[in-house]
Amino acid sequence: MSQEITLKLPPDLAEQLGQRATAQGLPVEGVIVAELRRALSGLGALSRRSSSLIQRDQSALHLTSPIMGLVEGLLSGETTVREALTRGDFGLGTLNLLDGEVVVLDGVAYQQTADGASREVDPAAKTPFMTLTRWRPEHCIALHLGCRHGWQELLEELEAHFPSPNLFYAVRIEGRFESMRARAVRKQAGNRPLAAVAKEQAVFELGAGSGTLVGFWSPAFVGSSLTVPGWHLHFLSGDKQQGGHVLQAVLQEGRALIQPLHHTDYDLPQDRAFLEADLTKDPTEQLEQAEK
């Protein structure tokens, strides 16, 4: 069904189109229609690009900084937790001067201190390193874990359901745990290499209880410069009062959601300490010592 549309053009635009029509030997209406088609085509392309960027953002692993800086002892950043959370609502990290661990669940960041306690983070607090994504359960692989799993058994079960070893994955496990051993770094007085800090970290038992494991798995080819290769998981208790970086756990029963991540993006700090740091060394050995 055809429809009639009336356009009212500004005088200067009408004159410009009239001159173009005369020069091309075309009716003014034809020139106007051609311009409209061009404009609509541009809007369509813009819409497609915007949609592509939105989809990319929703399946991306975002790093506020490469972990190599943290390994080399650059323990302070200029990114606030509030700013970091604009890039994702699920993840983990730490605060400036390694003031405990951080876990982000459902858009809320929690600080986990050396005594195993957990509390919401001040959004104005700053972070030298956080790993985040936008949690999209509709994009996840769901896995029912109906029987007891030791730590290695649990990790192997999860990896068996990865579509590929060459992707990043965000993993969320909700369940009841028979036991939980975790750690948290202690706040430092100044910059120190991560491996030295880790030797003084607090290790504690959280005991039996319910809660959520939050974390990521990164493929081996990424190495140790951008993020922690392999598994990096933090725990938050069901009452949000306890948690930390997980070292060992026994799962009684639970449900896992695995979200494949097809894109990565990261920020490079602009402070003088980062710009002048020597980041040419291979951080693998130091990061492995820190993660033990």
Q: Which pLDDT value is given to residue 27?
A: 78
The C-alpha atoms of residue 36 and residue 38 are separated, in whole angstroms, by 5
pLDDT digits (tens, 9 = 90+) for 77-88: 999 999 999 999
What's the chain's average pLDDT?
88
Please check whether residues 131 and 23 belong to one and the same domain.
Answer: no
Please check whether residues 47 and 175 belong to one and the same domain.
Answer: no
pLDDT digits (tens, 9 = 90+) for 242-255: 999 999 999 999 99
pLDDT digits (tens, 9 = 90+) for 103-148: 999 999 999 999 999 999 999 999 999 999 999 999 999 999 999 9
Which CATH number characterizes residue 253's domain? 3.30.1330.80
Given a cut of 80, whether residue 66 has pLDDT beyond it is yes
In-domain check, residue 2: no
Please check whether residues 176 and 49 belong to one and the same domain.
Answer: no
pLDDT digits (tens, 9 = 90+) for 182-220: 999 999 999 999 999 989 999 999 999 999 999 999 999
Query: Global pTM?
Result: 0.80
Domain limits for position 208: 64-291
Please check whether residues 134 and 119 belong to one and the same domain.
Answer: yes
The C-alpha atoms of residue 79 and residue 109 are separated, in whole angstroms, by 14
Backbone conformation region of residue 100, classed left if phi is above 0, alpha if psi is from -120 to 50, else beta: left
| Strand pairing class (60-63; 263-266) | parallel
The C-alpha atoms of residue 10 and residue 211 are separated, in whole angstroms, by 63
**CA-angle at 118, arms to 117 and 120, nearest 5°:** 150
pLDDT digits (tens, 9 = 90+) for 213-232: 999 999 999 989 999 999 99
Backbone conformation region of residue 152, classed left if phi is above 0, alpha if psi is from -120 to 50, else beta: alpha
Query: With bands split at pLDDT 50, 70 and 90, how would you rate the model's confidence at 39?
Result: low
Query: With bands split at pLDDT 50, 70 and 90, how would you rate the model's confidence at 290?
Result: confident
Please check whether residues 52 and 131 belong to one and the same domain.
Answer: no
